[in-house]
Amino acid sequence: MKFVVRIDPDSIKKNPDAGRTSFFVAGMIHNNPDGSMSREVQQMHQMTPDPNYTCEVLGCDVVCDECGKIFPHEELEERRYGGGWDDEWYDVNVCPYCEEVECCELEYEQFNDVTGEVISNE
Ligand SMILES: [Zn+2]
């Protein structure tokens, strides 16, 4: 069965870090020759800029195709398989009760990162 994890429309807000591609983290503390101490700051880079909007998703209940258990989608275990001969990696969800792989189909609602509007597939 297929389930849609919906976005809470009231939770969509402008991301204060929109477009950010790097951020700073505190690094090691150094003892300076003059007796003072200073903390190294490291700049970290990320491949994709931070989105313009952030949002929270509304939980939804899913039903396992195999054992028929009904449980909130957050309980699905996410596992990553791959790295074989083709070095392809893919994420699968696993039923927390019967360990069935891809026990239900999950689709996440998307939103337009320019306007902040939810894109509905229906
Ligand atoms: Zn199951």
pLDDT in tens, 74-99: 999 999 888 888 888 888 999 999 99
Question: Amino acid letter at 10?
Answer: D
Indicate whether 33 belongs to any domain: no
59 CA → ligand 1 middle, Å: 18
Indicate whether 35 belongs to any domain: no
Report pLDDT for 18.
93
Contact criterion met (CB below 8 Å) for 111 and 53: yes
Report pLDDT for 122.
58
Does residue 5 carry a pLDDT above 80? yes
Query: What is the domain count for the chain?
Result: 1
pLDDT in tens, 8-63: 989 999 999 999 999 998 888 889 999 998 988 889 999 889 999 999 999 899 99
CA pair distance 61, 7, nearest whole angstrom:
14
Phi and psi at 75, nearest 5°, equal -80, -15
Question: Amino acid letter at 51?
Answer: P
The first and second tokens of residue 89, run together, are 């990696």
95 CA → ligand 1 middle, Å: 5
Domain of 72 in residue numbering reads as 2-26+40-119
115 CA → ligand 1 middle, Å: 38
Cβ neighbours for 81, distance < 8 A, ≥ 6 positions apart: 89, 90, 91, 92
Report pLDDT for 60.
93
